[in-house]
Amino acid sequence: MADLAELCNGLALTDKESALFDFDLEHVVFSPSDPKEQQWILAVTVLRHTKFNVGAMERTLKGIWKPFKGVVMEVIDDNLFAFIFNHENDMKRVLAGCPWHFENSLVLVKQVMTLAEIKREDLFLCPFWIRILELSPNRISEEKAEQLGSMIGNFMEYDSGGKHVKYSGYIRVRVEIDTSQSIRRGILVGSKESSRWLKLQYEKLPKYCFWCGGFDHVERECEVAFDDGAKEGDKRQFAGLTAEESFVPSTKVANSQRWSSS
Ligand SMILES: [Zn+2]
C-alpha cells in the first residue's frame, strides 16, 4: 500500500479516518483529479451486415474527424469500438456533424462516460437534417415545424434560416431517428376529412435498402427482396429519399456541418 500521508494529500488523519474499509476497487472508475486528464468517449458501430476492414474504418474516421487534441480507438467487440478523445470540443464536433459514413454505410456514435458502458443495443439512433417537402420556411411557424419534426423522431432543431434563407419548397428539421426501423418516407397529417402526405428527404443519407427501407443493407443483401422478388417483381418503394447536395446552408447550419465528411 502507498504511503498513507501521500495517499491523503499530506493530511494527518484522525483515528476514525485511518480505519480502512474493505471495498473492492476493481470495477470502480474514478474521475481524474486533473480535469485536463478527462477523456471523452464515443461508442461507435458501422451499420452494416457485411465485414469491413477495421483499420481502414479507423483511418477514415480519424481522417475526416481530424481531432485537434488527438483520439485513440479501442476495439470493444466485433464491430463495436470506443473512440477516446482528449478534448471535449473534438468529441462535440463529431456529434454535431452526424450522420457520418464509412464506405457508404452509416456510422452510429453515442457518447458514453466509461468503456464498460458501451453496448451494441444502445447504438441505434442517428440525427439527420430532414427536409419536409411542400412547405416553406417563411410560411410556417417554428412551433408547427417542431410538431412535424416530433412526428418523425426525437426533434432536435429547426433551421428557420432567418432572413438569409436561400431555399424554398421545403423546411429543414434536425431529428434523431431510429435506424433499426425502416426509413420513413413521409408523414400523413391533417384530419379524417382533409389530410396531406408530406414527403421527406434526408441530407447526407448513406446507401440504404430501396426495397424494405432498412439502413443496414442494400437490395442485393435484402431478405425481404430475396423472398418477394421472384413472385412480385420490382417493389423498390423506398427509392428517392436522398436530398440533393445543391443546398446552400444558413450560417448556423454551416458551422455545425463544417466538420462533416462531405
Ligand atoms: Zn431490405
Contact 107, 101 (CB under 8 A): yes
d(CA 153, ligand 1 centre) in Å: 21
d(CA 185, ligand 1 centre) in Å: 15
pTM score: 0.78
The pLDDT of residue 6 is 72
Query: Which segment of 77-91, 110-124, 219-233 scores lowest on mean pLDDT?
Result: 219-233
**Domains of the chain and CATH, by start:** 35-122 (3.30.70.330), 125-205+241-257 (no CATH)
Ligand 1 being an ion, which residues bring their Cβ within 5 A of it?
209, 211-212, 214, 222
**Can you spell out the DSSP letters for 121-165?**
GG--EEEEEEEEET--GGGS-HHHHHHHHHHHSEEEEEE--GGG-
Residue at grid coordinates 458551422: 255
Residue 10 banded pLDDT, cuts 50, 70, 90: confident
d(CA 117, ligand 1 centre) in Å: 30
The pLDDT of residue 226 is 80
pLDDT in tens, 157-175: 999 876 666 677 899 999 9
The pLDDT of residue 24 is 76
